[in-house]
Structure 1
């Protein structure tokens, strides 16, 4: 069922995808059917590929298809969001997922004109009980100036372990795996010529959701949990760029020599 700004679909919390994400994160969580899905893992467990004929030149569905309204700006970024867990989401369960778009908001940012859009995702059980509610913050922006001399692409093989203590390691193979797990065709994560020559980035962009999942996993390993969490992308992290994770009791941060890239904070309802 769908309308111009809302869509409801049935999904199964895919145990194969959940196990694949655990492998990518090096996580020891229980991924068997019936086990509770960790926070934010629904990005993988409920993902489905968009229809090919809806895709725009950046690989994402064109604005105006699905629930996203017409937005005449070429670049799309994941700015963060907020997740509230009402009840455990069991691996292997059938659920309904409703995605709805808010009203676009225009802003003037440091780098130029922006449009901000919130997507609300509600996941409910087959008996219509609420399981989780998420608000995603999306940012649309104008073109970046072209790089005078793009750097050489990062070679594969650097991310033997995504998380090695507090060190975060990425390589193109890892980004391709995460794009596949989240059914994300956005070319800035996997297409180096497009990312550098068309969008003006100095390399492949590490997914904002991947950074949030890594921070959530780091807090879980430290024994921290909460019914609500907020995550925010501060600046892009580029593939192969060395980064570190810092923790305190209720928050985690990804940072590098270039500054802070993402934060995640836990809270109670």
Structure 2
């Protein structure tokens, strides 16, 4: 069953240099930090347009209570499942943009893991004179809580810079609670699974703190800036296949037009398919 939910919110917002600088400091990968007037790197609009809701509207999980913008789905686990971003023109850091966000659809399904609800949100970012810059579709999945797993040890040493080049086209990617906290702050994301150990393990049943889906996708996109700085991205399709937990070893791999974050046991956790602007075809 699919329920159409054409709920739209339009706002006028600043492409904020402060969280852009925060993400550059978090990545600490040797690239110059993007400055006011520069083009915003691909996917960095997830950071540059933060929305801090007032405290009184927050729900149990740390997100705004459902039923405000997002629909009142009664399943406790919310996951960033993937989506697609098309870049028509660059966003300039420090510029003002118009953001139009729409809940496009709400679909309820039943599978082997039980009931789930898929919410599709579409966002258009335009200049003040109406020129379209970015179209962004995000797929959010809501599930029932899982069976509590055996929590992983919660004692972490600082990892320092999260990127370490292992070989051509491959980087080791390391996480710790501080990295997750800093990303939550940069993106105005108060979801408790990323910083609240008791909530993540006892309430939602995860074995540890969950690495943000957008952080994994942004880390993959950053490898383009590191390894292929001349590529002008036209479209990115991103998919989160399985969660990565804080402290788990991971690698970022670039193979042609497909980038993958690989977790323990060689299991893909996040993938990113790149289409270049010049060719209109997957970049090879």
TM-score relative to the length of structure 1:
0.94
**Paired position in structure 2 for 1:197:** 202
* Runs of 4+ with >3 A deviation: none
**Paired position in structure 2 for 1:82:** 84
Q: Distance in 2 between matches of 1:97 and 1:85?
A: 14
The partner residue of 1:19 within 21, 34, 40 is 21
The partner residue of 2:107 within 100, 105, 108 is 105
Unpaired runs of 5+ in structure 2? 166-170
Matched position secondary structure for 1:70: coil
Q: Distance in 2 between matches of 1:29 and 1:235?
A: 31
**Paired position in structure 2 for 1:164:** 164
The partner residue of 2:270 within 243, 256, 262 is 262
Q: Distance in 2 between matches of 1:154 and 1:187?
A: 18
Render the CA deviation track for 1:173-212: whole Å, top value 9, x for unaligned: 0000000000000000000010001000000000000000
Matched position secondary structure for 1:231: strand
> Considering only aligned residues, what root-mean-square deviation do their CA atoms show, in Å?
1.6
Q: Distance in 2 between matches of 1:150 and 1:262?
A: 22
In the alignment of these two chains, the number of paired residues is 264
Matched position secondary structure for 2:214: helix
Render the CA deviation track for 1:65-105: whole Å, top value 9, x for unaligned: 1x211111111000011000111100100111111102211
Matched position secondary structure for 2:184: helix
Unpaired runs of 5+ in structure 1? none
Q: Distance in 2 between matches of 1:57 and 1:13?
A: 29
Q: Distance in 1 between matches of 2:106 and 2:139?
A: 11
CA contact (8 A) 2:42 2:233 kept: no
CA contact (8 A) 1:255 1:261 kept: yes
**Does residue 231 of structure 1 match 2:238?**
yes
CA contact (8 A) 1:81 1:230 kept: yes
CA contact (8 A) 1:219 1:252 kept: no
TM-score relative to the length of structure 2:
0.89
